Amino acid sequence: MNPFFISTPIYYVNGKPSIGHAYTTIAADVLARYQRRVGRDVFFLTGTDENSQKNVEAAEAAGRGNDIDGYISDMAAVWKQTWDDLHISYDRFIRTTEPDHLAAVEAFWHRVQASGDIYKGAYEGLYCKGCEAFVTEAELANGLCPIHKTAPETIKESNYFFKLTRYKDALLAHIKSHPEFVSPAARRNEVTSYIEKFMTDVSISRSTMNWGIPVPGDESQRIYVWFDALINYISGIGFGTDEAAFARRWNQDATMINLVGKDIIKFHCAIWPAMLLSAGLPLPTRVFAHGFFTVDGDKMSKSLGNVIDPLEIAHEWGEDVLRYYLLRDIRFGEDGDFSHERLAQRYASDLANDLGNLTHRVLTMADKYGAPPLKRAPSDATATYHAAMESLALHEALEEIWRMVREANQRIEQEKPWEMAKAGKQDGLTALLEGLLRDLGVIAYMLEPFMPETSSALTQKLSTGKKGDPLFPRRDL
């Protein structure tokens, strides 16, 4: 089967991971685990975006202005540890200060230069530090950046530009002929209208910066952080250092998915593909932008003090519960809300009650009425589930699993195995319980990408026939 590549954005290290960052990373992990299970050669890339001025400012604010490298390394370690604690199955955690990334950025710069797409010019305009992006008046709301609610600064300097506008027609044509390239479909208009109406050539270097990757051949300039950061998607798999490995993972026949939040779609659906076209490299199969969520109805922000640490939720409820809640309660691709109350409800109803009880009942009855444990773990899932996973409709895949859970519970209510036992209908009873055990096996299989620990605990119970501890102990809420 052809290789499958999936990435998250690389995150700034000016703060610790929030539940928002965990959301993207968990979703990517679910997709990576699913594709591995179906036998694809998967590469899952995540990491940290380290050459940003934001990181430098955070180091200074933390009193480590004289040890920026050390601060950034410490923070990168915090991010990595968070993903390890959440059982994220990444294949590589890339840091954009690593030597192979630097080599790749240089090689990439040379390719774009060889295509005639880099020129020197004078930039005068607005820059939003929060976005690390040049912005136009038209993109502002009342003079402020609509995302960061801050006034951009005016910048006037001489630097290098990328001929982005040269790729306008090619980008529009690609988006039209590859409907899956910008997904979900709702985001396509946003991207095409940006390309048609707002897109200009972009400055790809800064002369006033002393942090970041130097421009090859001109040490007085540093490469613009987004230009450097986007290249991580290919430097992380060998571009510029291991061409054979790179060609194997990044080619027309492979599936390459860049998973991002909707806030950074412009970079990923316009600038990034134009960079690849300029460098003569294939485009990702798909850039999927998921929605943003609020917390209990409010925008998550440091100033509101409502930023949720994913590890706190994981410690309180378990990693699997966090994973389940995020992907079940928010339709993947749409905006949503993280609510502590709904998390507790989902735990009690979907997990403890529906799945936990089903498991407990079936194993109790199998033991009591003599049905043998499951010899082989099933590896067949429903077509609806596979279709949902392939189309990144993660909430639909979970809905399909819970449809089976509910159906199994209903079957028990309807067939009343305890009455079958009383009436001595042993054959029917054994067949019913074997069917239920098997269904639970399929449920465990389908659940694995979403809730790896629960899936393995369930499989273990089914194969030994031992109830053991409940999957989801009841909690006083």
> Which residues contact ligand MSP by CB under 6 A?
9-12, 18, 20-21, 23-24, 49, 229-230, 232, 260-261, 263-264, 292-293, 300
**Minimal distance, residue 250 CB to ligand MSP, in Å:** 15
Q: How far is the CB of 21 from ligand MSP (least distance, A)?
A: 5
Compute the distance between CA of residue 62 and CA of residue 13 in angstroms, rounded to an integer. 12
| C-alpha radius of gyration, the chain, whole number | 25
Query: Per DSSP, which regions of 194-335 are E strands?
Result: 202-203, 205-206, 214-215, 218-223, 255-261, 286-290, 293-295
Q: How far apart are CA 17 and CA 6, in angstroms?
A: 20
**Shorter beta-carbon distance to ligand MSP: residue 54 or 411:** 54
As to burial, measured by CB atoms within 10 angstroms (0-12 exposed, 13-18 middle, 19+ buried), residue 190 is middle
The answer to whether the beta carbons of residues 33 and 448 sit under 8 Å apart is yes
| DSSP secondary structure of 347-388 | IIIIIIIIIIHHHHHHHHHHHHHT-PPPSS------HHHHHH
What is the rounded CA–CA span in Å between residue 32 and residue 444?
17
Measured CA distances, 167 to 45, 162, 274, 337, 363 (Å): 27, 11, 6, 37, 61
Q: Which residue is nearest to ligand MSP (CB)?
A: 20
Neighbours of 381 (CB within 10 A): 23
Q: Residue 248 CB, nearest distance to ligand MSP (Å)? A: 22
The rounded distance, in Å, linking the Cα atoms of 371 and 385 is: 28
Minimum Å distance from CB 67 to ligand MSP? 22
User: Which residue's CB is nearer to ligand MSP, number 104 or number 230?
Assistant: 230
**Start-to-end C-alpha separation, the chain:** 47
Q: Find the shortest distance in angstroms from Cβ 219 to ligand MSP.
A: 24
Residue 300 vs 358, nearer CB to ligand MSP: 300
**Closest approach of ligand MSP to the CB of residue 263, in Å:** 5
> Residue 30: is it exposed, middle or buried by C-beta count within 10 angstroms (0-12/13-18/19+)?
buried
Shortest spacing between CB 78 and ligand MSP, in angstroms: 13
Closest to ligand MSP by CB, 171 vs 289, is 289
- Least Å distance, CB 22 to ligand MSP, is 9
Nearest CB to ligand MSP, comparing residues 209 and 471: 209
Q: How far apart are CB 303 and ligand MSP at their closest, in Å?
A: 14
Identity of the residue, 11 or 385, whose beta carbon is nearer to ligand MSP in the bound complex: 11
**Sign of the torsion formed by the C-alpha atoms of 40, 449, 237 and 133:** positive
45 or 446: CB nearest ligand MSP: 45
Q: Is 423 helix (H, G, I), strand (E, B) or coil?
A: coil
**Nearest distance in Å: CB 25, ligand MSP:** 8
How is residue 471 annotated by DSSP?
A: S
Q: Closer CB to ligand MSP, residue 164 or residue 300?
A: 300
Q: Between residues 271 and 442, which has the closer beta carbon with respect to ligand MSP?
A: 271
Helix (H, G, I), strand (E, B) or coil at 460: helix
Residue whose CB is less far from ligand MSP, 14 or 221: 14
